C-alpha cells in the first residue's frame, strides 16, 4: 500500500477507523522507555469519573484550556522524567504506572499512545503521533503489527466522543 492510500478497518462492530499509517508498522512497548508518561494526559469525561474512584482528583488533576489533565509533577529524580524533571503524577520511581499496576486501569489516552486519533468528515482517523516517530522506542522493534491490534490502542469510548482529537496535552 502506498503512503497516500488510506484503508478502513472495523475495530468493533460498526466502529471503523481510517488508517493513515504504514500497515506494515509494528509496535511493542519498550520497558524502561516511559517517554509517553512524561506528559500530562487529557482525561475524557468518563476517564475523570473513573479516576475519581481511584485517586484524589484535587492532587492528581489540573485544568488547562477548559479541559482536565493528569498533573505533571516535579519528581526529584533523574530517571523516568522529561528534560524539566517532571512526569505524570502516576509514574512511579521504577517507571511503572501506579494506576495500571494497582488498579488495573489507565486513562483512555494512555492506551492510544503512540497513535494519534482525529475526526475528519465524521470519520475517526488514526495515525502515528509525530512526536512518537522521534521519541517512542517501540516502533518497528517487534513482529506485532499495529493494524492487526487496533482494539488494544483504541478503546470503544473514542467513537462516542464529540471531540476525541489526541493533539491536546499539557
Ligand atoms: S496515567 Fe499511567 S500510563 Fe498514563 S501517562 Fe500516567 S503513568 Fe503513564
Ligand atoms: S514512548 Fe513508546 S516505547 Fe516508550 S513507553 Fe511510550 S509507548 Fe512505550
Question: Which pLDDT belongs to residue 6?
Answer: 64
Question: Which pLDDT belongs to residue 2?
Answer: 43
Name the closest ligand to CA 169. 1
Where does residue 155 rank: exposed (0-12), middle (13-18), buried (19+ CB within 10 A)?
buried
Asked if 71 and 63 touch (Cβ cutoff 8 Å), the reply is no
Question: Which pLDDT belongs to residue 89?
Answer: 97
Name the closest ligand to CA 27. 2
Q: Is the CB of residue 27 below 6 angstroms from any atom belonging to ligand 1?
A: no
Place of cell 511493542: 28
Output the CA 70–ligand 1 centroid distance in Å.
8
Per-residue pLDDT of the chain (170 residues; tens, 9 = 90+): 444 456 999 999 999 999 999 999 999 999 889 999 999 999 999 999 999 999 999 999 999 999 999 999 999 999 999 999 999 999 999 999 999 999 999 999 999 999 999 999 999 999 999 999 999 999 999 999 999 999 999 999 999 999 999 988 88
H or E, element range at 128: strand 123-128
Which protein residue's CA is at the shortest distance from atom 6 of ligand 2? 36
Output the CA 49–ligand 2 centroid distance in Å.
26
Q: Is the CB of residue 96 below 6 angstroms from any atom belonging to ligand 2?
A: no
Q: Is the CB of residue 157 below 6 angstroms from any atom belonging to ligand 2?
A: no
Q: Is the CB of residue 100 below 6 angstroms from any atom belonging to ligand 1?
A: yes
Output the CA 90–ligand 1 centroid distance in Å.
6
Cis, bond preceding 114 (omega within 30 deg of 0)? yes
Which protein residue's CA is at the shortest distance from atom 1 of ligand 2? 136
Asked if 51 and 98 touch (Cβ cutoff 8 Å), the reply is no
CA distances from 120 to 14, 124, 125 (A): 17, 7, 7
Number of H helices, E strands in the chain: 6, 8
Amino acid at each position: 500500500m502506498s503512503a497516500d492510500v488510506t484503508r478502513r478497518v472495523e475495530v468493533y462492530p460498526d466502529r471503523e477507523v481510517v488508517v493513515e499509517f504504514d500497515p506494515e508498522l509494528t509496535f511493542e512497548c519498550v520497558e524502561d522507555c516511559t517517554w509517553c508518561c512524561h506528559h500530562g494526559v487529557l482525561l475524557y469525561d468518563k476517564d475523570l469519573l473513573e479516576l475519581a474512584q481511584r485517586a484524589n482528583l484535587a492532587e492528581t488533576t489540573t485544568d488547562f484550556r477548559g479541559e482536565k489533565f493528569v498533573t505533571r509533577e516535579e519528581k526529584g529524580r533523574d530517571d523516568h522524567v522529561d528534560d524539566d524533571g517532571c512526569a505524570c503524577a502516576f509514574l512511579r520511581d521504577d517507571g511503572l504506572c501506579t494506576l495500571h499496576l494497582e488498579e488495573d486501569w489507565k486513562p483512555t489516552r494512555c492506551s492510544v499512545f503512540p497513535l494519534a486519533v482525529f475526526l475528519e468528515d465524521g470519520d475517526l482517523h488514526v495515525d502515528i503521533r509525530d512526536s512518537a516517530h522521534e521519541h517512542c522506542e517501540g516502533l518497528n522493534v517487534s513482529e506485532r503489527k499495529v493494524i492487526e491490534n487496533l482494539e488494544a490502542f483504541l478503546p470503544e469510548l473514542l467513537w462516542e466522543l464529540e471531540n476525541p482529537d489526541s493533539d491536546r496535552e499539557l
